[in-house]
Amino acid sequence: MFRAVYKLKQEAGVESFMNYVTFNEQSMVFTLRTEHTMYQMQVRQFGILCHLYYGPFLGEDELDYRIIELDRGFSPNPYEADRDRTISLDILPQEYSGYGNGDYRVCAAEVDFQDGSAALDLRYQGYEVLKGKYKLPGMPAMFGDDTQAETLEIRLADEYSGANAVLMFGIFPKLDLITRAVRFENLGDRSYRLRKVMSAQLDFLDGPFELIHFHGRHTMERMPERLPLMHGMARFGSRRGTSSHQHNPFAILCRPDTTEERGLCYGLSLVYSGNFLFEAEVDQMNQVRVMMGIHPAHFWQEVQCGDVFYTPEIIMGCSEDGLTGLSHLFHDGMRQNLMRGKYVFSPRPVLINNWEATYFTFDEEKIFSIAEKALDLGVDLFVLDDGWFGKRDSDFSGLGDWTVNEEKIRGGLKNLSERIRSLGLKLGLWIEPEMVSEDSNLYREHPDWCLRVPGRLPVRGRYQLNLDITRQEVRDHVMEQIISLIEECHISYIKWDMNRSLGNVYSSVLIPQKQGEVFHRYVLALYEMQESLITRFPDLLFENCSGGGGRFDAGMLYYSPQIWCSDNTDAVDRLRIQYGTSFGYPITSMGAHVSAVPNHQTGRSVSIRTRSVVASCGTYGFELDPEKMTKEEMQEARKGLEEYKATENLRLCGDFYRLSNPFMNQDFCLWQFVSKEKKETLVEGVILRHQANSPVFYVYLRGLKADARYQRTDTGRVYSGAALMKAGLPLPLELGEYQPVRMIFREIP
C-alpha cells in the first residue's frame, strides 16, 4: 500500500498557496487549475496514479467516473488484484508508465537493473505542494515566483528497486499553462541505468485526435503537417544531437474539427535543444497516449545510489479557441516566463550582416565601407560574420582559433571596432564555438578535444568536427577567447552558430559505461556556456543559430531572445517558414533579414518593399551589400525600416493572427498583429499570385472589438470592428506577383 510520505506544507496563519492545486483526501483526486483549464489525476487501488482529465475548466466535478474497469482479454492484472481481472495497467490511463509491469503500450520510462531485469512498477507514495515554480539544475525551464506559479510534486516509487520518479508539475494560472518534468532518484542500495525517460505522458480516454507536427530540412524548416492518429504508433524526433532542421520539438494534438479560430487543441513544447522523441499511440480501446522527452537512441544514464537525474521540461497548453488561441498561450508564456534579458520586450538594434555581401572574401576596408553605407539605411549594428578569425578563407580551416585574422583585418579587430563605433554603430560578431577544423592550431595542439570514436576515421560535416564541450577544459579554452574578444572590442551582439549535426559521438575522458551520457552531457555543457555568457554580459544582444533553424527550440529561447529562423532568406520561402514557426514560438524570436536579389538560395527576385514586409514579421535586419543598391532601393529600404520601428512595440507585445495558410492559399499570405488593448492593429502580407481578370479577394481581420470604430491610417476611412472582422476588406489588385500588403487601423473615440 502507498504511504503519504509527502504532506502539504503551510505556514501557520499564512495563506501559502493560490489554491490552484487541491487534493481530496477521501477520493484521492488531485486537481490542478488555471483560469480556463484543469488537469485531474487520481490515486486508485494499489497506488496506481491515473490520469482523469486535461481540458477546459469544468468546475468542481471529480471525473473518476470516466474510468470504466472491465475484464479485457490478454490485458494482465497486478498481483495484488488477486481474482479481480478488471484492473489492468494495460488499460488504465496512467500519469507515468514504466516498462515490464503488464502495460504493453509505449511507456515513459525504461530501466536496466544490475540483476539484468527491467521491470519498473511505479506506485504512489505521496505529494508536496510548493510556492512558486520548481527549477531544473543546469537546464532551461519556465520561471515564476509565488505570485505567478505553484508547484506540485508527486512521488512514485518502485518498491523492489529503490527507483523513485518524482513527477513535477508547474502551474501558471494566468498563462493557462502547465509544465512537466521528472526527477529520478535512487533510494536503493544498487545503481540502475535509465534507458528511456520521457518528460511527460498524457493518456486520453478517447479520441479521435489529429497530430500537427513541423518537419523540414536545411533552408526549409518547420513545415506544418496534419494527419489523423491511427491505431498504432506515430513518432518523430531527432537523433542529430540538436533539435534539428528535420523535426521540431513542438507538437499539437487537436480534434478533427479544430480550425484557427475554434476547436479543442493541446500543445506540447519540449524545453530542450538535443535529441528528442515524440510518441503517440492509439491503443486497442481507442485510447490515446502521448509523450515526449529525450530520444532513447544511444542514451543511457547511470543513477548511482543517492543520485538524482532530471528530465528536461515540457510546456503544455490547452485551448478551446483553436490553433490561434493555442499559439497565444505559448507566445505569451515564453515571452513572460521563459525568455530573459533586456530585449524580450524592448526594441532591438536593427543590424546589417555582411555574410551574403562578402562571404569569406573581404578586408577591413570593405567591411568599413559596408558599415559606412549602412548608415544611410538607418541600421544600429554591424555584424561581422564568418571569416574574421584564424586562417579562415573557406569552410576548410580556422574553426577553433578565435583570434583575429590580421591578413584580412589589418590593424586588428579592436581597431576596426573603434572605426565602426565612431560611425555611431555597434559591432557584433559571428562565432561557432562548438566546432573545430582539422586545419587549425587548436586541433593540431589538442586533437583529442573533439568527439571521435577510437580507431575510426571521423565523419565530417561542413568539413568540420564537433568539439567535446562536455570537457571543462575545452569549454574554458573556448569561452576565455570569446570573453576576451567581447571585452576588448566592445562587442554588442553575438550570433552563436552550429553548422553540423553531432557525429562521432564518443568522449575520450569517459569510461565505456558512460558513453551513453555524451549526447545529454553535450546539451548541458552548451547551456552552461551560454548561461556564463549572458550572465557576464547582460546587455549583449544574443542570437542563437544552427545553420539557420536547426536548433530553434524553447531551450534556446531561455538564453537568447531570438534565433536565426533559417539560412533561407528568400522572402517567398520565408512566408512558409515563418508561418510554421509561429504556431509554437513568438514572432520576435524569429531572426529575419532583407537580403539581396536575385536571392542567393533560390534565385528569385522580389521588390525590396516586399522583402521588408516579410522581414518585419520577425527581428528586422539586412543581409546584403548596400553599396550595390540603387538610390531608389535605398529609399525603399529606409522606408521599410522606419515602418518597422514605428510598429515594433506592437510586434513585441501584441497578439499574432495567421489570416491565411500559404500552403493552402496560392493567392495570398497575410498575418495580423493586435495590441493587447485591441486599440491598434497591423495587417501585413504578400500577394502570391496575380491572375488575368482576377476575382476580388477579401481579408477578414480578427481580434478586434466588434463595437469599436477603427480608422485606417493611410486612407482615413473609418470601419467598425464588426465590419472588419465579418465583412472583410478587398485586397488590392495591382498587377504583378509578390506585391506587399500593409494596413494599419487605430481605434478612435
Residues annotated as catalytic are: 553, 633
3-class DSSP state of 466: strand
Q: How far apart are CA 695 and CA 731, in angstroms?
A: 10
For 257, 369, 617, 651, 652, the CA distances from 590, given in Å and listed in that order, are: 29, 28, 8, 12, 11
3-class DSSP state of 732: coil
DSSP one-letter code for 336: H
List Cβ neighbours of 58 (8 Å cut-off, separation of 6 or more): 38
Q: How far apart are CA 618 and CA 262, in angstroms?
A: 26
Please tell me the total number of residues recorded for the chain in this structure: 749
DSSP string across 372-411: HHHGGGT-SEEEE-TTSBTT-SSTTB-TT--SB-TTTSTT
DSSP one-letter code for 627: G
Say how many Å lie between the first and final Cα of the chain, rounded.
66
Q: How far apart are CA 723 and CA 721, in angstroms?
A: 5
Q: How far apart are CA 491 and CA 171, in angstroms?
A: 39
Q: How many CB atoms lie within 10 A of CB 515?
A: 15
Is residue 483 packed enough to be buried (19+ CB in 10 Å), middle (13-18) or exposed (0-12)? middle
| Most distant pair of Cα atoms in the chain: their distance | 87
Is residue 503 packed enough to be buried (19+ CB in 10 Å), middle (13-18) or exposed (0-12)? middle
Please compute, for residue 616, the number of CA atoms within 13 A of its CA located in the half-sphere on the CB side.
34
Closest CA to 337 of 476, 176, 483: 176
Q: How far apart are CA 606 and CA 571, in angstroms?
A: 8
